[in-house]
Amino acid sequence: MSYQMSDEQWAEHRGYADQVQIVVTPMDNPSALEHLEQWIVISHGAAWTPDWLLRKVESIPLSTNSELGSAPYILTSTENRTSWGADSATYEILLGISTWAATSAAWDLLKIVSKEMAVRLKAEHPGMIETDLNEHEAIERTRWLVASRYDTPVDQLQVVETDLDAEGQARVVLDDGNGWLYDVTLELCDGLVYLSRIKRTKKRAADRKDSSVQ
């Protein structure tokens, strides 16, 4: 006898995840290999289906228009589920968007999505622990983000500058020792969803000389 899920059971099954990640990458063209900026949302838990979140993310380029029309984009998603002993599930949504469309308005839309995720998490899982962002966590998280997105060893990333404002938004600047600086802003939406923005820049020759002297 085969097992069949009801619609309600399937919705609950699809709505479970241990970690959800959204990565938005501004790019000049689909074949570009070097990305100088990435926007990342991370949630440790879910209170929605992947389809709901996919629709929210795709609304970002569809809402960005110019004389050229809607923003060109590439959207992909991956899901990983394991039920072998302990159950686990993760999924990731990747959005590549034309550089001209990566405006402050597009960033604000991603921020709205992040806050909607946090609101749904709080309503669906009232027992989830909300945390505050401190300097130590900001440094460790930004180092992990840069290492994972730019294939750089964590222990190679040196902190150049840190700042944590009164509203809990952090800024961390990292040096990879190979001529690149990573300027990362990080905020925690309602204590549950992390939103970050990485800007990668080439160090000036004078800066590289100064750091080598130190």
pLDDT at 32: 75
Which residue is associated with the tokens 């929605």?
48
> How far apart, in Å, do the first and last CA atoms of the chain sit?
71
Rounded CA-CA distance 209/214 in Å is 9
The dihedral region occupied by 3, where left means phi > 0, alpha psi between -120 and 50, and beta the remainder, is: beta
10: amino acid identity, one letter: W
Radius of gyration (Cα) for the chain, nearest Å? Answer: 19
pLDDT at 205: 61
pLDDT at 210: 58
Within the chain, which residues score under 50 in pLDDT? 213
pLDDT at 84: 84
- CA–CA distance from 51 to each of 24, 56, 160, 167, 200 (Å)? 17, 9, 40, 32, 31
Q: Where are the domains of the chain?
A: 7-213
Walk across the sheet containing 170-175 and list its strands. 73-84, 86-98, 19-27, 37-43, 193-202, 180-189, 170-175, 158-164
Q: Are 167 and 183 in contact (CB under 8 A)?
A: no
Q: Are 154 and 143 in contact (CB under 8 A)?
A: yes
Rounded CA-CA distance 128/171 in Å is 26
Q: Quick: pLDDT tens for 106-165.
A: 999 999 999 999 999 999 888 887 788 899 999 999 999 999 999 999 999 999 999 998
pLDDT at 86: 77
Q: Are 177 and 156 in contact (CB under 8 A)?
A: yes
Which residue is associated with the tokens 């993310």?
57
Q: Are 97 and 61 in contact (CB under 8 A)?
A: yes
